[in-house]
Amino acid sequence: MTSTPFETTALDASAIPFDNSYARLPPQFFARQAPSAATAPRLIKLNEALAEELGLNVEALKREGAAIFSGNLVPAGADPLAMAYAGHQFGQFVPQLGDGRAILLGEVVDRNGKRRDIQLKGAGQTPFSRRGDGRAALGPVLREYIVSEAMHALGVPTTRALAAVTTGQPVYREDILPGAVFTRVAASHIRVGTFQFFAARGDDEGIRTLADYVIDRHYPELKGSDAPYLALYRAVSERQAALIARWLQIGFIHGVMNTDNMTISGETIDFGPCAFVDTYHAGTVFSSIDQNGRYAYANQPAIGQWNLARLGETLLPLIDADVDRAVEAANAVIKDYGERFQHHWLAGMRRKIGLANTEEDDLDLVQALLALMQDGEADFTLAFRRLSGTMEAGMDEEGFAASFKDPAALSPWLDRWRERLSRDPQATLQRKAAMRRVNPAFIPRNHRIEQAIQAAVEDDDFSLFEALLRVLAKPYEDQPEFEPYTRPPQPAERVLQTFCGT
């Protein structure tokens, strides 16, 4: 890897108390790279609550945030680098990708003792940029800020948004757009594709070094295991099964589930052409680059399994020296993923329809509701939210039915559901409260995101962006003053495609 020298500033080191570990790995893991200067940076948003959680000096960041988060000012203690990784993109393997427009400033240990990455996205070219400019446009920066913070509030493991700045200079895509930089916080940025990078080079020692680092950082409980690398594979698989189940339960579509977009930590990462389902359909696709629906809503669990199989291939030399035994052990993990996903998904769907105990026919009950929602063109979020008000015959059935094209078709399912509730141990009010804790009233609806982006890009107006962040911070509360944000889009407001920010 080639490296670019850089100089740190004399900024008070307490602003960001870096404690870098990835930078101490062997040089083939990354390229040292300073951010590129921005012409006239302006701080749009600082996530003060997250900064406090990370143990950062909020007052210093308010003063210097535009310079730090644009890349103009590299704080003392930072060790900027671009990470190396490979990946399967829409099923096609690319042996070298890497951070083409992202620079890891360094790591901090937060107030809970957890190590977190602080990364700039859109801070200029790196040795992995290929023909890209390494910059980001304002729209994708705002989208990632909104959706990542919404996912956090919804209780989904995710990378977080620390800051967003404008750069004062344009970026050139199909149009000329205002440039911006997004500051992302993650448990780490290690991906399935990071392992693939070393496997593609036959670097078994690199794979072992990476796996040991991952165990130390993310899965320290595995260090005493008799088979730590197989245990690591199981642990990563379990986290992904649980994560993708949560995506489906809130109607989230990632959009680009390439192996370089799947973290080893189990966090959601890279909110490019992501979107939330409005009218429910299992085959929903928004991403403009997903021409064949590879990453459609209902395909996500199988793609997760496919990606994990690619991870397993890289770990085979570590799992067992005997290839046949290694393959057999890895295949068992892949098979178990399907069962674990089904367990997490069904458990969550039971909670969404108000069930605390389990019965054999619950899967069929859930699938019957989803079929009615698809046939009835129901809004995914509203249908589940309103279901909590219909637990007794006649209770707010009109509100629930309003989500469906043919309300009369619901009666047989509602009768069956209430009969099932009669065998559930929860009291009605307890069940209703429990359902409202898992069925959000507010999601980052695609048309609302686009409205916020349009106002910011065209008019330098961030009021819709700020309002959306306030609403989405409390997704499970009613917030009557923000009731319009619960509504699905009107026909003219519908977002049919979402786009990557590259």
pLDDT confidence of residue 210: 98
Q: Is the pLDDT of residue 391 over 80?
A: no
pLDDT digits (tens, 9 = 90+) for 40-99: 999 999 999 999 999 999 999 999 999 999 999 999 999 999 999 999 999 999 999 999
pLDDT-derived band at 328 (thresholds 50, 70, 90) equals very high
Q: Is the pLDDT of residue 8 over 70?
A: no
Q: 424 Cβ partners below 8 Å, 6+ apart?
A: 354, 355, 356, 357, 431
pTM (two decimals): 0.95
pLDDT confidence of residue 323: 97
How far is Cα 432 from Cα 371, in angstroms, rounded to an integer? 23
Q: Which helix (H) or strand (E) holds 454?
A: helix 446-459
Q: Which pairs from 427-435 meet CB under 8 Å and 24+ separation? A: 428/391, 428/392, 431/354, 431/356, 431/388, 431/391, 432/354, 432/388, 432/389, 432/391, 434/351, 434/354, 434/356, 435/351, 435/352, 435/353, 435/354, 435/384, 435/387, 435/388
Q: Are 250 and 80 in contact (CB under 8 A)?
A: no
Q: Is the pLDDT of residue 359 over 80?
A: yes
pLDDT confidence of residue 173: 87
pLDDT confidence of residue 5: 42
How far is Cα 109 from Cα 129, in angstroms, rounded to an integer? 29
Q: Is the pLDDT of residue 393 over 70?
A: no
Q: Is the pLDDT of residue 6 over 70?
A: no
Residues linked to residue 82 through DSSP beta bridges, in sequence order? 31
CA-to-CA separations, 135 to 82, 103, 125, 434, in angstroms, rounded: 14, 11, 7, 44
pLDDT confidence of residue 4: 47
pLDDT digits (tens, 9 = 90+) for 149-191: 999 999 999 999 999 999 999 999 888 999 999 999 999 999 9
pLDDT confidence of residue 3: 47
pLDDT confidence of residue 502: 54
Handedness of CA 252, 255, 259, 264 (dihedral sign): negative
The dihedral over CA atoms of 297, 302, 305, 307, expressed in degrees to the nearest 10, equals -60
Please provide residue 21's backbone torsions phi and psi, each rounded to the nearest 5 degrees.
-120, -40
The DSSP symbol for 492 reads G
Please provide residue 92's backbone torsions phi and psi, each rounded to the nearest 5 degrees.
-105, 130
Q: 498 Cβ partners below 8 Å, 6+ apart?
A: 255, 272, 273, 274, 275, 286, 287, 288, 446
CA atoms lying within 13 Å on the CB side of residue 202? 0
How far is Cα 468 from Cα 455, in angstroms, rounded to an integer? 12
Q: Are 442 and 483 in contact (CB under 8 A)?
A: no
The DSSP symbol for 162 reads E
How far is Cα 166 from Cα 142, in angstroms, rounded to an integer? 10
pLDDT digits (tens, 9 = 90+) for 15-25: 799 999 999 99
Supply 318's token pair.
């570590």
How far is Cα 144 from Cα 425, in angstroms, rounded to an integer? 41
Q: Average pLDDT for residues 224-248, to the nearest whole number?
A: 97
- Specify the range with the lowest mean pLDDT, choosing from 3-12, 128-137, 343-352, 446-455: 3-12
Tell the residue number behind the tokens 């970026």, with chain if given: 171
* DSSP for 138-149, written as a single string: HHHHHHHHHHHH
How many CB atoms lie under 10 A from the CB of residue 314?
24
Mean pLDDT, the chain, whole residue set: 94
pLDDT confidence of residue 394: 65
pLDDT confidence of residue 14: 57
How far is Cα 157 from Cα 264, in angstroms, rounded to an integer? 12
How many CB atoms lie under 10 A from the CB of residue 352?
20
CA atoms lying within 13 Å on the CB side of residue 275? 27
pLDDT digits (tens, 9 = 90+) for 94-120: 999 999 999 999 999 999 999 999 999
Instruction: Please confirm, yes or no, whether 290 is among the known catalytic residues.
Output: no
* Separation of CA 439 from chain center: 19
Strand, helix or coil for residue 213:
helix
pLDDT-derived band at 399 (thresholds 50, 70, 90) equals confident
Percent of the chain predicted with pLDDT > 70: 96
The DSSP symbol for 259 reads G
pLDDT confidence of residue 497: 85
Strand, helix or coil for residue 500:
coil
Q: 183 Cβ partners below 8 Å, 6+ apart?
A: 69, 118, 119, 120, 121, 161, 162, 163, 164, 165
Catalytic residue among 260, 278, 320, 379: 260
Please provide residue 305's backbone torsions phi and psi, each rounded to the nearest 5 degrees.
-65, -40
Residue from 310, 299, 371, 304 nearest 340 by CA:
304
Please provide residue 471's backbone torsions phi and psi, each rounded to the nearest 5 degrees.
-65, -45
